[in-house]
Amino acid sequence: MSVNTSLIATERDEVPKHVREIVTPEGIPLRFQLARASDRVGAFTLDLLIQFFVLFLIGLGLNLAAGGQSSSWLTAVMTVLSFLLVNFYFSFFEIRWQGKTPGKRKTGIRVIDARGGQLEASAVLARNLVRELEFWTPARLLLAGSVVWPSAPVWAVTVAGLWAFVFLLFPLFNKDRLRVGDLIAGTRVVMQPKTELAPDLVAETAANIMGPKGRATYAFTDAQLGVYGIFELQVLENVLRQDPSKVGYSDALRTVVEKIQAKIRYERKITHDELFLRDFYAALRGHLEQKMLFGERKEDKYSAKKQQG
Amino acid sequence: MRQVRSMRSVEFRHEREATWAELETIIGKADKDGLRSLSAEQLARLPHLYRATLSSLSVARSISLDRALTEYLENLAARAYFVVYGARQVLRKQMAEFFLTRLPSAIREAKWHILVAFMVMLAGAIAAYQLTLTDMDYYYTFVGDMAQGRTPASSTAELRAGLYGGDSVNSTLATFAASLFSHNARIGIMAFALGFVAGLPTLLLLFYNGLVLGAFSALYHSRGLSVDLWGWLLPHGITELLAVILCGAGGFLLAHGLVFPGAKTRMDSLRERGRLAAVVVLGAVLMLFIAGIIEGVFRQRVTSVPVRYTVAAVTAAWWIFYFGFVGRRTVKRAAQVRAEDAHDAEMTGAWLASSSMSEGRR
């Protein structure tokens, strides 16, 4: 949650920028975050390295098996194996592991069907067979241009390679970060969801830091609670969930306390910053949730109360 | 305390936390060791817990402002969704289904594109053939690097020897066949992928293939070696040429989806045709592999012309049978079942509508 942007929207019904929704067969929309370009590049590089490494091992093994002499059978097997490995590595893993390859597993991303539903084998094939066009051709043109196109001058090869790079850079030109393969197959690459449950702030406050009389130390009137909206509540939640041992924690708390105190015009004296914020959080959350049950949702301190339809 | 306890979101979480924890353990195990590592009771609990979590997510979205909780439930539901809907069939069944149904029916679905690809290649072949017959110099233009020593400058005896080559070429044959396979397969896949740029490169590739073929056959025909040439070419050539045509058809499918989406959006149309094309191309790659084996193992060993033609005829008959007839019944049955289901759903809907109308009247 610290690195990823949240899946939760600030405005109701609006999905955050890099989040995509699919509807499960049960009818519930589930949200996924699109994989970042850096993750995808990292996963691809890792997969390439694995492929080269395996090819190297196979070559070595076959060489040893042939006793060091070159044999045409060896070359033949090597050619076929390298072709199969390079062209079907991704398809094999993405079908087998339902959208993951070793590289993708390491960077924490996976392939899903854009419409929700099981990732079909034909979709995986479609998205991976196009890699020949997207990556290998530009790579070959740039690295071994003289072999592919013997009679061409250097500048022509470079231009051709750069043009071919348009396909490679395709994900940067569309908002869903689709590769050409993703476009053809109707798939998306998203971050693998990670689950960590932080304790409930309200329950925690009640359990740990209770005032001597067993109730909240700081009390607020309805008017004071009506100042802020959901956005501010969630900002406050983020502040309270920070690591207390970090430098500047108490300073941050103090700043927030002073701001709130000024805004809601809290007259009484505040001795314990954290306790004040926790009590305020609990009270504000209770207040806003109660309002939500009646269909009133106050998004932030600037919005007038909206009636839900 | 009173204020805290009465908060619905806190109570809701308190009640359901155990369910979520249980689901997390189960999907954690499934993610690490696969679905098969789950016990029978865990497998039985999984759908129930998954649905319960989905309902928790709905509830949390509407009543809770605890952002961490809603985020957690989103992620938990997503992880569970992958586990529940990620199960595949046993590999053997998948492969059987692919070869017995999916591939042949895909070829049948793509028949018009295959026809177009075939016509393009034929056009190239005929054009080159006619041109080369009139002027042998065209041979060099069309065949270029692929001649491998077989040119109009070679004597007829040399050409004939090339068709029935002796054992001296045996050791390099395997390499030759293997590199030919990967070369052809790579070109085939490129022809498919290039369909994405509106199919024009695919068209050119197919036409060029036809040109080479046409020029070749013109050369051999002019020396009276036609029968020998086709005896040499056809045993593996039928499979190989068919595969190249299939790759071209795959490219055309992509181009069709992109340029003429019809009533669908471009994305939807590409998606459907892309998947169909991928199956076709996979079939083509397999065919190229088979052609490579026939070429490498068979061709230089068997030099009797009748045998070569028989093998060619057998491969032709086999592919006609496989692509024309295999899997028809399964596909028809599946379509029938779907139609029956749709019919049932319609009838039920109509019955419900009529009964609720009569309710209203009462």
For residue A216, the model assigns a pLDDT of 65
- On whether the CB atoms of residues B195 and B253 are closer than 8 A, the answer is yes
pLDDT band at B87 (very low <50, low <70, confident <90, very high): confident
Q: Which residue has the tokens 């024309």?
A: B324
Q: Which residue has the higher pLDDT, A72 or B82?
A: B82
Residues of chain B neighbouring A185 (CB-CB closer than 8 A)? 271, 274-275, 278
The token duo for A24 is 């499960």
pLDDT band at A115 (very low <50, low <70, confident <90, very high): confident
CA distance A160 to A137: 10
Per-residue pLDDT, averaged over B255-273, amounts to: 90
For residue B57, the model assigns a pLDDT of 93
pLDDT band at A164 (very low <50, low <70, confident <90, very high): confident
Residues of chain A neighbouring B297 (CB-CB closer than 8 A)? none
CB contact under 8 A, B10 and A202: yes
- ipTM, two decimals: 0.82
Beta bridge partners of A189: A111
* Paired sense of beta strands A29-33 and A109-113, if any: unpaired
pLDDT band at A227 (very low <50, low <70, confident <90, very high): confident
Per-residue pLDDT, averaged over A58-82, amounts to: 77
Tally of CB atoms within 10 A around B17:
14
Shortest Cα distance, chain A CAs vs residue B2, angstroms: 8
Shortest Cα distance, chain A CAs vs residue B318, angstroms: 25
Does residue B231 have a pLDDT over 70?
yes
The values of phi and psi at residue B84, to 5°, are: -70, -40
pTM: 0.81
Does residue A174 have a pLDDT over 70?
yes
CB contact under 8 A, A1 and B77: no
CB contact under 8 A, A194 and B75: yes
Q: Which residue has the higher pLDDT, A4 or A20?
A: A20
CB contact under 8 A, A282 and B3: yes
Nearest-Cα residue of chain A relative to residue B52: A26
CA distance B124 to B151: 19
CB contact under 8 A, B1 and A206: yes
Helix axes A230-240, A273-293, angle to 10 degrees: 140
With a CB cutoff of 8 Å and minimum separation 6, the contacts of A11 are A299
Per-residue pLDDT, averaged over B331-342, amounts to: 88
Per-residue pLDDT, averaged over B342-356, amounts to: 84
From residue A107, how far is each of A4, A181, A198, B1 by CA, in Å? 13, 20, 23, 44
Helices (H), B135-262: 138-143, 156-163, 170-193, 200-222, 226-259
Residues of chain A neighbouring B267 (CB-CB closer than 8 A)? 183, 186
Beta bridge partners of A121: none
Residues of chain B neighbouring A121 (CB-CB closer than 8 A)? 94, 98
Nearest-by-Cβ selection for A180 from B196, B275, B278: B196
pLDDT band at B145 (very low <50, low <70, confident <90, very high): low
Residue B309: exposed, middle, or buried by beta-carbon count in 10 A (0-12, 13-18, 19+)?
A: middle
CA distance B86 to A118: 6
pLDDT band at B2 (very low <50, low <70, confident <90, very high): very low
pLDDT above 70 coverage of chain B, percent: 92
pLDDT, tens digit (0-9, with 9 covering 90-100), for B19-65: 999 999 999 998 888 788 889 999 999 999 999 999 999 999 888 88
> DSSP label at A34?
B
Shortest Cα distance, chain B CAs vs residue A276, angstroms: 15
Question: Shortest CA distance to A12 belongs to which of B219, B135, B62, B213?
Answer: B62
For residue A244, the model assigns a pLDDT of 82
Does residue A287 have a pLDDT over 70?
yes
CB contact under 8 A, A24 and B82: no
Does residue A308 have a pLDDT over 80?
no
The values of phi and psi at residue B58, to 5°, are: -60, -45
With a CB cutoff of 8 Å and minimum separation 6, the contacts of A277 are A236, A239, A240, A253, A256, A257, A260
CA distance B180 to B148: 13
pLDDT band at B90 (very low <50, low <70, confident <90, very high): confident
Does residue B280 have a pLDDT over 90?
yes
Alpha-carbon dihedral angle through residues B111, B115, B121, B124, given to the nearest 10 degrees: -160
For residue A2, the model assigns a pLDDT of 38
CB contact under 8 A, B94 and A121: yes
Shortest Cα distance, chain A CAs vs residue B271, angstroms: 5
For residue A13, the model assigns a pLDDT of 54
For residue B114, the model assigns a pLDDT of 94
Tally of CB atoms within 10 A around A153:
10
